[in-house]
Structure 1
Amino acid sequence: MKTIGATVLGALLGCTLLAAPAMAETLRIATDSGAKGSAAGNAIEAWAAEIEAATNGEIETEIFYQNELGGQQEVFDLLMAGDLDLMLNWPMTSYDQRISIIYTPYMFTEWDEALAAYSPDSWMSQALNGIYADSGLKFLGAWPEGFNGVGTKDGHATSVEDASAFKVRVPPVAPFTETISAMGYQTATVDWGELYSALQTGVVDGDAANVIFYEVEYFGDVLTDYTHSRQQFLTGILTANMESWDGLTADQQEAVAAGAEKVMLAQFDAAKAADDGYVQTWKELGHSYVELSDDQMAALRSTVREKVWPQMDNLIGAELMELVRNNTSAQ
């Protein structure tokens, strides 16, 4: 088993990890998006506690929160290099574009469908197992935020035709731009840190691709409408460095995996409840919250799938897209 408190980590992180008297292993757990006390911070603390309890002290943990080890890409690089052992992160496609499979639009639009897809032995989890393994990582589960939508000001769209009146910000990650364009919106790439002023000055009319939490938290005084179009299911990922994983005993691996599954299932419940709460807060601000009718959702889903899914064949590969097609509802 590899020594977790290696000298290279001491040089890299500027700390020295001392082995416990019983030679307990120390697993280093990080999140790239969440300070101590945040939902993500609480999640990795819960994961750490599950691992320590299940291994009866054979494994100890050290936790690193957002920005303690650098930015999002830097922390992911540490996981890839084995200088971190476990991580809750928002998917990075810098090493493998196939991770974009999770952003395929309109694979599902209901929470129970998403949970079924991300269950340990289900099709999405199995696909991600293979993708992450090719990069030297072990996929251990999802940590969902929920279904996204489009926040706008001074009106909203429920059809492709209506959407053409709005220019909205999209993150520079495929297939977000392609999806929002297929939904009929004009798109613009705006840095997250500049989005508030861009909304204030009219550079853009809205923010696309986020769950409603972000619109409530950051843009509640400049946006007026939120259309819950549910084009993508946004989720963080619970992962392990494969070398770290292989260095654990079978019982220890079971403890890490079981802890991750428990954290995942808890987040499915918590995220749905939190989303409902933010919807209520949005309405209390006097804003419009729009759920698409069945007919509107069917029309939008059909249009976006027709335009974007063929592009996904090139982005993630025809084999993975065939898996998506075979495991998602035609409706």
Structure 2
Amino acid sequence: MKNSLKKILKHAAVITTTAVISMASMQQALASDNKYKLKLASESGDSTSPVGQSMQLWAKLIKEKSNGRIKVNVFYQGELGGQQELFDQLVRNNIDMMLTWPQTSYDDRISMIYLPYLVLDWKDAINAYKEGGWLKEIVTPVFADLGLKYFGPYPEGFGGVATKGRYATNFEDAEGLKVRSQPIFPLPQTMKAMGFQAVPIDWSEVYTSIQTGVVDGDSSNVIYWDYQYFRDQLDYYVQSNQNFSSFALLMNDDMWSKLDEEDQNIIASAAQEVIDLQFKKAKAEDEKWIKAAQEAGMEYIKPTPKEMTAWIKRVRKDVWPQAEEKLGSEIMDKIRANASLPQ
């Protein structure tokens, strides 16, 4: 009786093990048969720009990791529309993925990533945005509520103010200077708090606006954009650091949910490689373009520590209460609890 029972149990165990292996093999086979053609877009940067090259890398890694099952078509600056139009298409699932400056038109809470002087230096930024970092843990669920999968930030560096004719390193000197600002809260409000006259203008219209005198310069971008696209129009770049300039790697959540776990891991791991690489190279990339701008005749200026502290305190005092009305006290309390104080 005991031997018979042992044989039955052994036979059952073999059947169960075989079934589990067969089921796993079936799942693997099914996963390996899934084929997708995805659209990846950005509103700024041509194929030769750092953003364009990073989009190519993300697409390449996805293709390699999936053995060619998942192909990504990349669309660069202006090919599928402007900034707001592209973000609309991402939310509506007409575009699958974006490397973008997210728009706040659907949810005011997105504006937290544009909050002025949110982080103050590279070490501060890395601690905030790393996996498990305090800022990433606040940002991720906000994008989820919008129907977007947030992989993380694509850092460029700290934004400044580029102008022609004259420049400013303090509130008083900024009076009368008109600078273009991205039409996203709280970027125009930040420039106003710094003393400038902010003029919200879409990226595609910036060059003509500077050329015709609609504005005296550009703001909130790292020097690469002002040197690469407007260097024949601009004389000065002030490293005011009011915003940590970073794009976001995003995917429409409906598309994300259609993927099995294997393919989600492929896309997410590829995104993380792009993010990790960009954090390593962003500072050096920014310094390269600072040097290039200086060699081309653009004057690069750093405010004194006293001037920086004055700007930080003034802007936080002015803009952060405005942000609280949009973000809510819960988010702002977390930000105030974690944000570094100026030296």
Report if TM-score (shorter chain) is over 0.5: yes
Distance 1:84 1:320 in 2: 29
Given the alignment of the two structures, is residue 62 of structure 1 paired with residue 81 of structure 2, yes or no?
A: no
1:262-293, Cα deviation, whole Å (9 max, x unpaired): 10111123322221111112211233211122
The answer on whether the counterparts of 2:115 and 2:320 sit within 8 Å (CA) in structure 1 is yes
- Which residue of the partner structure matches residue 38 of structure 1? 49
Instruction: Indicate how the Cα distance of structure 1 residues 56 and 279 shifts in structure 2: closer, same or farther if over 3 A, else same.
Output: same
Identity across the alignment (%) = 39
TM-score computed with the length of structure 1 as normaliser: 0.85
1:287-326, Cα deviation, whole Å (9 max, x unpaired): 3211122222111101110111000101222221112111
The alignment partner of 2:234 has SS state of: coil
Given the alignment of the two structures, is residue 279 of structure 1 paired with residue 290 of structure 2, yes or no?
A: yes
- Which range is displaced more, 201-210 or 104-113? 201-210
Instruction: Indicate how the Cα distance of structure 1 residues 198 and 40 shifts in structure 2: closer, same or farther if over 3 A, else same.
Output: closer
Q: Which structure's residues are more often helix, by fraction?
A: 2
Shift of 1:197: 4.3
Distance 1:221 1:320 in 2: 42
Given the alignment of the two structures, is residue 175 of structure 1 paired with residue 186 of structure 2, yes or no?
A: yes
Whichever residue aligns with residue 212 of structure 1, its letter is: I
- Which residue of the partner structure matches residue 195 of structure 2? 184
Shift of 1:187: 2.7
Instruction: Indicate how the Cα distance of structure 1 residues 279 and 35 shifts in structure 2: closer, same or farther if over 3 A, else same.
Output: closer
Whichever residue aligns with residue 227 of structure 1, its letter is: V
The answer on whether the counterparts of 1:30 and 1:88 sit within 8 Å (CA) in structure 2 is yes
Whichever residue aligns with residue 217 of structure 1, its letter is: Q
Quote the RMSD (CA, aligned, Å).
2.4
Distance 1:87 1:205 in 2: 31
Given the alignment of the two structures, is residue 73 of structure 1 paired with residue 84 of structure 2, yes or no?
A: yes
**Equivalent residue for 2:236, pick from 201, 218, 225:** 225
**Equivalent residue for 1:247, pick from 255, 258, 277:** 258
Whichever residue aligns with residue 254 of structure 2, its letter is: E
Distance 2:162 2:131 in 1: 33
Distance 1:275 1:191 in 2: 23
Instruction: Indicate how the Cα distance of structure 1 residues 74 and 314 shifts in structure 2: closer, same or farther if over 3 A, else same.
Output: same
Instruction: Indicate how the Cα distance of structure 1 residues 178 and 75 shifts in structure 2: closer, same or farther if over 3 A, else same.
Output: closer
Shift of 1:206: 2.3
- Which residue of the partner structure matches residue 85 of structure 1? 96
Instruction: Indicate how the Cα distance of structure 1 residues 37 and 185 shifts in structure 2: closer, same or farther if over 3 A, else same.
Output: closer
The answer on whether the counterparts of 1:147 and 1:230 sit within 8 Å (CA) in structure 2 is yes
Distance 2:121 2:195 in 1: 23
Q: Structure 2 unaligned runs (5+)?
A: 1-29
- Which residue of the partner structure matches residue 124 of structure 1? 135
Distance 1:325 1:52 in 2: 41
Shift of 1:165: 4.2
Whichever residue aligns with residue 220 of structure 2, its letter is: A
The alignment partner of 2:168 has SS state of: coil
Distance 2:202 2:67 in 1: 46
The alignment partner of 1:209 has SS state of: strand
Whichever residue aligns with residue 72 of structure 2, its letter is: E
Instruction: Indicate how the Cα distance of structure 1 residues 190 and 260 shifts in structure 2: closer, same or farther if over 3 A, else same.
Output: closer
Shift of 1:243: 2.3
**Equivalent residue for 1:210, pick from 200, 221, 240:** 221
Instruction: Indicate how the Cα distance of structure 1 residues 190 and 27 shifts in structure 2: closer, same or farther if over 3 A, else same.
Output: closer
Given the alignment of the two structures, is residue 24 of structure 1 paired with residue 34 of structure 2, yes or no?
A: yes
Q: Which has the larger radius of gyration?
A: 2
The answer on whether the counterparts of 1:32 and 1:71 sit within 8 Å (CA) in structure 2 is no
The alignment partner of 2:249 has SS state of: strand
The answer on whether the counterparts of 2:91 and 2:147 sit within 8 Å (CA) in structure 1 is yes
Distance 1:44 1:237 in 2: 12
Distance 2:301 2:269 in 1: 38
Distance 1:75 1:219 in 2: 24
Whichever residue aligns with residue 246 of structure 2, its letter is: T
- Which range is displaced more, 47-56 or 272-281? 47-56
Distance 1:82 1:142 in 2: 21
Whichever residue aligns with residue 44 of structure 1, its letter is: M
1:191-247, Cα deviation, whole Å (9 max, x unpaired): 545544443454432222222112212222222111100000121111122222223
- Which residue of the partner structure matches residue 326 of structure 1? 337
- Which residue of the partner structure matches residue 49 of structure 1? 60
The answer on whether the counterparts of 1:118 and 1:125 sit within 8 Å (CA) in structure 2 is yes
1:88-126, Cα deviation, whole Å (9 max, x unpaired): 222122221211111000011212221221112212212
The answer on whether the counterparts of 2:129 and 2:153 sit within 8 Å (CA) in structure 1 is yes
Whichever residue aligns with residue 42 of structure 2, its letter is: D
The answer on whether the counterparts of 2:104 and 2:185 sit within 8 Å (CA) in structure 1 is no
Shift of 1:46: 1.7
The answer on whether the counterparts of 1:27 and 1:86 sit within 8 Å (CA) in structure 2 is no
